[in-house]
Structure formats: C-alpha cells, structure tokens
Structure 1
C-alpha cells in the first residue's frame, strides 16, 4: 500500500474532525439551554480527540509530524477539510443540522473501517463506536424535537437542511489520485459507497421529522476542500486555534 494514499485519507478525516470539533466548542456558554452547552462541549472534545488519534497514526505509522505541530502549524492550503466544517456556526438551526449531517457521515465512515485492511483503522472504529452512537442519537433527537415544535421551528429546520445539504455532500469528495488504490487494497469502500450509505442513514430520520430531503440528483456537492481550496473562514479559524501554541512552538506543555 502506498503510504501517500493512506496519508491523504487520514489527513482528510482528521482535519474534518479537528475543525468540526473547534466549531462545536464555540457553542460553549452560548447554547440555548445548559445541557446543550455540556453536550456540544463534550462532542467537541470527542472530535478533537478523534483528530489527535488520527494525527498520531500518521506520526507513529507513516512518518508524519508530531500531532500537535501538525494540527497547529500547517498553513491553510495544507488542510484537507471539507467546506462544511469551515462555515461559521451561525444560528443554532444551522449548527444542529451540520451536526446531524456530519455525524452520520462520520459514523458510516468509521463503520466501514471495521473490516479495513489497515489495522489502525479497525482499532479506531471499535474505539469510537460508543461516542459516535451518542453523537448521532443526540443529533436525531434534536432534529426531531425542533422539526415538530411549531411552524416557525419546522420552517427553520427545513431551511437549514436546504442550505446545508450541498456542503455536507462535499464530505464525500473523491480522490482521483488515490481512491482506486485504497479501494483495491481493502482500506475502505470509497467515497461514492459512503455517500449512498449516508443518504440511506439520514433519510429515515428526516422522514420521521417530516423534513424534505432535496432531490439529490439536482444537488451539486461543494468540493474543493480536499484539494486545499477553502472558504474565507478557515484561515482566521486556524489563527485562533493555534494562537497559544504558536507563542512558543518549542514549549513543553
């Protein structure tokens, strides 16, 4: 197996988790109720922990940098996160819908890695199973609750879904350079397969919530992030994330 192919996939996964975790953390102290402060903070910690575990695999198995340096020193163009996770939190309906769509995508991805030919992926899939179950249960519950609360709440959740679905589809941006090799080696089933599993996973929840999934054949996924082309929101976020670390990059914390 080409180490460059594995490295590419791991960075995409880890960068998504790191940036989504940071966005979730921004709700701490601002949630609509205290329990939601706790929930989003907890899920933020989990996601950043997932990113660190992936960066550690790069470091220990594939000759990559120290995880902290890799997370906090890279320039914007070196990140491979999707546009979905870069977007500002906005109002709670957007953040909740992003949480729902992202966490189900994350779950089907890790489920697919249970039989991966790359042993560290198998280990992570087993390790993260409980956390991902909690994340999707939380997302499902609040999607249901807010979609069925009243007319305004339902309209806002439907609007959030309409605004977010193309960004979320961009999670599954394929790699022309490496994907076939990874699939042939049994590392994972490829982005197209994961995309369809994701749609099968989210559709029943949306139906139960009476939300209308846009006709996906007419939705153009927002690609570019995997190739280093990012929104205007990523660079200031990276500066904020690395502010303390970059005060003294050689310090021992």
Structure 2
C-alpha cells in the first residue's frame, strides 16, 4: 500500500467514528437526566460532527475526495470505516456516558499524537481542537467519578457499563493495512502505541472511581474493513434522510 492510499484510509476511519458517535450522542438532546447534561451532550455531539467535517475536507483537498456532505451521507454502510462501538444505539445513560469516557480519551490520545505528525493538515487540526478535547475528557471524568461515588447501586451500574463497553472500545484501535507505512513516515505512532497510552490514561480515572478495569482480551474488530452491525444502516437511513431528498440542494 502506498502512502496516498494509507493516509485516506486513516482519515476516513477517524472521521467516520466522529460522525457516527456525534449523531448517536445527539440523540440525547431533550433526554438528558438533567438540563446541564442535555446541553453538554448536544454540544459535544456537535463538536464531533465538526471534527468529522474537517477530516472529510482534508480528504477532499489533499486526496481528491468528494464533497464532505456527499461523502458523509451518500455512501453505503459497507463503505464506512467506523468501529462497531460508535454504531450501537445510545441505550441507558450509563452506557452512553461510559462510551463517551472511553471514546473521548481514545480520541484525545490520537490527536495528541497528531500534534507531532509529519502530515501537516493533521498537525494543524490537532492544534485547533485541543481545547474541545480537553473539555470533553474533563466532562467525562467528572461524571464517571460523580456517579461511581454516589452509592453502591450507582457504582455497580457503572461497572456493568464498563464491562459492556470495554472490548467494543478495543475496536477503536483496530490496525489497518497501511499502518506500518504510516508509522515509518511518522504520520502517527500506530494503533498499538495509542492503545497503550489510552489504557494508562483511563486507568487513573478508573482506579479513582473504584471500578475494576477489565483485561483487553477480545477487542471487537471488523468495522475498519466495512463489516458492521445492523444498527449502522438504520442510523444512516435516519441520518441522511433529508439530505438524500435533494443532494444538490443549497442549504
């Protein structure tokens, strides 16, 4: 695989993760347990979709990709590179909160590595969204700690959510075919290195919260190669419904 193929694959999987989890988290709008959380989840969902749009723009400008809106809404499910973790329905609040915690720490580690990337557009994007990612992880950490110290029932529910999410979260770090080349070209350090740093970062919060961190034994892979759950197509049908009415319309 050439660098001109490996880089778009990397950008697409990151952008697709951001787009899909952004739409999933937006489903909490009007449903949050308290008004503050309703606003926070909606705001962070908007940030995620903005990150996806920025990555799709890099694909368009540097690799001859299509219009970001068409790329986001007009592909078939098998053409998406998102991991299974982001596709799943929002479920209970503790599931969505734990997904937020695990995903945003993974995203932060990834963009921290991009701050030293040899691919300048990624380096520049990492600098632009650094503040947003700091807020996202601070928000997730605060709520994990608050709920895990709110009583035994609350802590047990958060432990169950962690157990439910952990192997799925491992799919964020599914290696790609061109990874060795991207590492050699100093685009980023690779998925294994990112996963190791992610585990270190989340371990501090997990320990403070009194939770038990599972072993990463069977990470859920497949999404990066276009193998998805049934939930993705359902989400895409809803997500692109208005856009597909007239893809050439100017909004």
Q: TM-score, normalised by structure 2?
A: 0.99
1:148 deviates by: 0.7
Where 1:233 maps in the other structure, the secondary structure is helix
What is the alpha-carbon distance in structure 1 between the residues aligned to residue 134 and residue 153 of structure 2? 29
What is the alpha-carbon distance in structure 1 between the residues aligned to residue 152 and residue 208 of structure 2? 16
Structure 2 residue aligned with 1:234 = 232
Q: Does 1:14 align with 2:15?
A: yes
What is the alpha-carbon distance in structure 2 between the residues aligned to residue 41 and residue 2 of structure 1? 36
Dislocated runs of 4+, deviation >4 Å: none
Structure 2 residue aligned with 1:186 = 186
Q: Does 1:73 align with 2:71?
A: no
Structure 1 residue aligned with 2:223 = 225
1:180-217 superposed Cα distances (whole Å, 9 cap, x missing partner): 0100001000000000000001000000000000123x
Where 2:115 maps in the other structure, the secondary structure is helix
Structure 2 residue aligned with 1:93 = 94
What is the alpha-carbon distance in structure 1 between the residues aligned to residue 49 and residue 27 of structure 2? 13
Structure 1 residue aligned with 2:195 = 195
What is the alpha-carbon distance in structure 2 between the residues aligned to residue 93 and residue 19 of structure 1? 19
What is the alpha-carbon distance in structure 2 between the residues aligned to residue 250 and residue 63 of structure 1? 19
Structure 1 residue aligned with 2:62 = 61
What is the alpha-carbon distance in structure 2 between the residues aligned to residue 188 and residue 232 of structure 1? 31
Structure 2 residue aligned with 1:152 = 153
Structure 1 residue aligned with 2:108 = 107
What is the alpha-carbon distance in structure 2 between the residues aligned to residue 181 and residue 239 of structure 1? 35
1:157 deviates by: 0.1
1:112 deviates by: 0.2
1:151 deviates by: 1.1
What is the alpha-carbon distance in structure 2 between the residues aligned to residue 178 and residue 215 of structure 1? 27
1:168 deviates by: 0.3
What is the alpha-carbon distance in structure 1 between the residues aligned to residue 144 and residue 115 of structure 2? 28
Q: TM-score, normalised by structure 1?
A: 0.98
What is the alpha-carbon distance in structure 2 between the residues aligned to residue 36 and residue 90 of structure 1? 16
What is the alpha-carbon distance in structure 2 between the residues aligned to residue 126 and residue 16 of structure 1? 19
Which consecutive unaligned segments of at least 5 residues does structure 2 have? none
Within-5 A mapping of 1:104-183: 104-175=105-176, 177-183=177-183
What is the alpha-carbon distance in structure 1 between the residues aligned to residue 56 and residue 150 of structure 2? 41
